[in-house]
Structure 1
Amino acid sequence: MFTGIIETLGEVTRISKEGSNRHYTIQSAISHELKIDQSVAHNGVCLTVVALDAESHTVTAIDETLQKTNLASLFEGSKVNLERCMQMNGRLDGHIVQGHVDQTAVCVKRAELDGSWEYRFRYDASAGNVTVEKGSVCVNGISLTVVGSADDEFSVFIIPYTFEHTNLQEVQEGDHVNIEFDIIGKYVARLTRR
């Protein structure tokens, strides 16, 4: 389980294929603290550390993960948002994030405001996922507050700290991001459909 508070950015230094799987080697400031078999969120996707060296770690994404997330679009040099799993004795600064991406969304608006940024994302609403005004959503692993909620779109406003310390700075109109909708909202939506 995660909080959606990004610890650091990592950089993809190697991508290799094995069957339909892809192995990503990520260099980061926290790699030396990780352990084999540890869960780490990469752009909001919970992946298991399978190999380590002094400055980097390697994770594997299976075909289903590649189909449901934006990980297949990563390339050597891509920046990746990283978060280790939450500690049960710590504060929950973001919201409850499982690291299980529901779907991707496309950035349809990126606007620099006077000291902040607005991003608007459109997603396929046929999957039954919803956002609510002032609710939580996880975009590329980042816990954010929804504004301008619609049936298949929502906006978020980004403060300078979040912009500078996450890979949202690289997201342009037309790019796909990973979306994990709020777990409570998903349960409520499912119950109301019954």
Structure 2
Amino acid sequence: VIQEVITELGSVFELKDMGILTYFLGLQISCKSNGDIFVSQQKYATDLLAKSGMSSCKPCPTPLKPHTQILLTDGIPLKDPKQYRSIVGALQYLTFTRPDIAYSVNTVCQFMNNPTEHHFFLVKRILRYLQGTLSHGFTYSSSGPLLLSAYSDYDWAGDINTRRSTTGFVVYLGSNPISWQSKKQGS
């Protein structure tokens, strides 16, 4: 079926079949013999650790300590927040295949305007977590029933700075996550 589509597209457009997709926009894709597809950003994460000077850091078990509450004014403001913003932006891209860091990255994103040394310490903790979980990613399984299921949750006034709530959801097709989001309540 795929070959038929490629042939049909080739009759209309000029194209080059480069074979099975293995790497695209920082995503590493591998097809398993059982039909499963594994997607990760291991090279991207490794490059981010190198760029941040954290290649040889000691891993930690979680991206943030449980029940971490962060104030806008925690710590001394960074003299030059460019590195903070650059790393946090790169971490945002990494959340495409790493929902395990999405909450933590979203948390440190909230301090992009005026990051402090304490906020940068939290970013480094996320990087230390990545060091120990470089091979993590998604496996899209080709087996099992393709039932659609969804889960959601919220924290009631969980942001100690604004007292706003955060809601989130994840949608699965079979055992495969296909959509997820976390969003803070509007003003």
Q: TM-score, normalised by structure 2?
A: 0.27
* Structure in which a larger fraction of residues adopt strand: 1
User: Between Structure 1 and Structure 2, whose CA radius of gyration is higher?
Assistant: 2
Point out which structure has higher relative CO (alpha carbons under 8 A, 6+ apart). 1
Q: TM-score, normalised by structure 1?
A: 0.26
